[in-house]
């Protein structure tokens, strides 16, 4: 069981030993809400202002208390939040190389996308391939746990939320050829209890219980075949059609209501 403490907790201390520090590489497109979500998760408080775009790498840290049957101990989770803006992408190579050179410190990769913007789902291929293709002195042959987070899911219309989430999960399952690829949906507007899956991911990776998580091989690029591309296009096209249909029906109802009110007003004026 994992309990979390805010970095501002008086009982928290800065990590001084590398063996108590566990890093997580956080990837995703610009404006996917990575920084805002991580700030909420690490501080325990909803951000009161909008965050600026991350230009390089922003580091978020959190003290975690892990309890097992035998004992309990404190560790530190450090999230390397890489900016997704294309303008600054060339400057991120240093952090990607550090990931490979110090794989002993990194326990997982977290990809965050905007659940209301479908192209950010497909961008996972680009970000993971950049990580795989980076040139560095050494690359670990050990696979690393991957967690996928759909952020801002509150922006999806309630009418199409279930179908949209299902289609995203089907797309990821086909892309990774794994029906059990973990994808959780979060929002800064939701209660803090929503982070259960993220807490579980951190606890499992620290304890080494990764058998139930998808393990990504960062040595090799992720294949984005024409079959997957066609599937993605079809599914995302269906989602767009759902939105268009919903908008059309809403507009039609508004027009009928306007016509009815106008006609009623005209009849009343004529009778008067």
Residue-wise pLDDT for 198-246, tens only, equals 999 999 999 999 998 999 987 766 665 545 555 455 555 555 555 566 5
From CA 136, how far away is CA 95, in angstroms rounded?
A: 11
Residue predicted with more confidence, 41 or 66: 41
**In this structure, what is the dihedral angle of CA atoms 151, 154, 157, 159, given to the nearest 10 degrees?**
100
Say which residues have a Cβ less than 8 Å from residue 261's Cβ, sequence separation at least 6.
none
**Paired sense of beta strands 144-151 and 106-114, if any:** parallel
Task: With a cut of 70, say whether residue 43 has pLDDT above it.
Answer: yes
Q: Are 111 and 176 in contact (CB under 8 A)?
A: no
Distance CA 107, CA 121 (A): 23
Residue with the two structure tokens 């400057």: 91
Helix, strand, coil percentages, rounded to 5, for the chain: 45, 20, 35
pLDDT at 8: 46
| CA separation for the pair 110, 107 (Å, rounded) | 10
3-state secondary structure 165-233: HHHHHHHHHHHHCCCCCCEEECCCCCCHHHHHHHHHHHHHHHHCCCCCCCEECCCCCCCCCHHHHHHHH
d(Cα 151, Cα 132) in Å, to the nearest integer? 24
List pLDDT tens digits, range 48-96: 777 777 878 999 999 988 888 888 888 899 999 998 877 777 778 889 9
Other CB atoms within 10 A of residue 259 CB: 10
Give the CA distances from residue 262 to residues 233, 259, 265, in Å, rounded to whole numbers and listed in that order. Answer: 43, 5, 5
For residue 267, the tally of other CB atoms under 10 A from its CB is 10
pLDDT of residue 233: 54
- What contacts 1, CB < 8 A, 6 or more positions away? 66, 67, 203
Please write the tens of the pLDDT for every residue from 153-176. 999 988 889 999 999 999 999 888
Rg from Cα positions in the chain: 23
| Predicted local distance difference test score (pLDDT) of residue 180 | 74
CA 97 to chain centre: 22
Question: Taking a C-beta distance cutoff of 8 angstroms, is the pair 37, 186 a contact?
Answer: yes
How far is Cα 99 from Cα 126, in angstroms, rounded to an integer?
17
Residue identified by tokens 């410190």 is: 105
More confident site: 7 or 141: 141
Q: What is the pLDDT of residue 12?
A: 43
At residue 192, does pLDDT exceed 50? yes
pLDDT tens figures, 102-155: 888 999 999 999 999 989 999 999 999 989 888 776 677 788 999 999 999 999
pLDDT score at 111: 97
């Amino acid at each position: 069981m994992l309990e979390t403490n805010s970095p501002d907790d008086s009982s928290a201390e800065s990590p001084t030993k590398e063996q108590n520090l566990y890093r997580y590489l956080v990837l995703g497109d610009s404006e996917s809400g990575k920084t805002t979500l991580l700030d909420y998760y690490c501080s325990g408080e909803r951000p009161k202002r909008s965050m600026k775009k991350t230009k390089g790498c922003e580091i978020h840290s959190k003290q975690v208390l892990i309890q097992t049957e035998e004992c309990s101990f404190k560790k530190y989770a450090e999230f390397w939040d890489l900016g997704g803006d294309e303008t600054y992408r060339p400057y991120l190579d240093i952090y990607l190389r550090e990931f490979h050179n110090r794989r002993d410190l990194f326990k997982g990769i977290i990809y965050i996308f905007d659940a209301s913007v479908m192209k950010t789902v497909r961008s996972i291929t680009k970000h993971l391939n950049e990580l795989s293709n980076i040139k560095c002195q050494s690359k670990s042959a050990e696979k690393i746990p991957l967690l996928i987070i759909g952020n801002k899911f509150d922006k999806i219309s309630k009418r199409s939320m279930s179908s949209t989430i299902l289609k995203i999960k089907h797309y990821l399952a086909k892309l990774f050829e794994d029906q059990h690829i973990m994808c959780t949906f979060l929002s800064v507007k939701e209660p803090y209890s929503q982070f259960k899956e993220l807490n579980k991911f951190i606890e499992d990776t620290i304890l080494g219980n990764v058998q139930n998580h998808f393990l990504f091989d960062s040595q090799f690029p992720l294949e984005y075949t024409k079959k997957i591309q066609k599937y993605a296009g079809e599914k995302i096209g269906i989602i767009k059609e759902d939105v268009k249909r919903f908008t059309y029906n809403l507009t039609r109802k508004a027009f009928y209501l306007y016509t009815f009110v106008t006609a009623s007003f005209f009849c009343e004026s004529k009778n008067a």
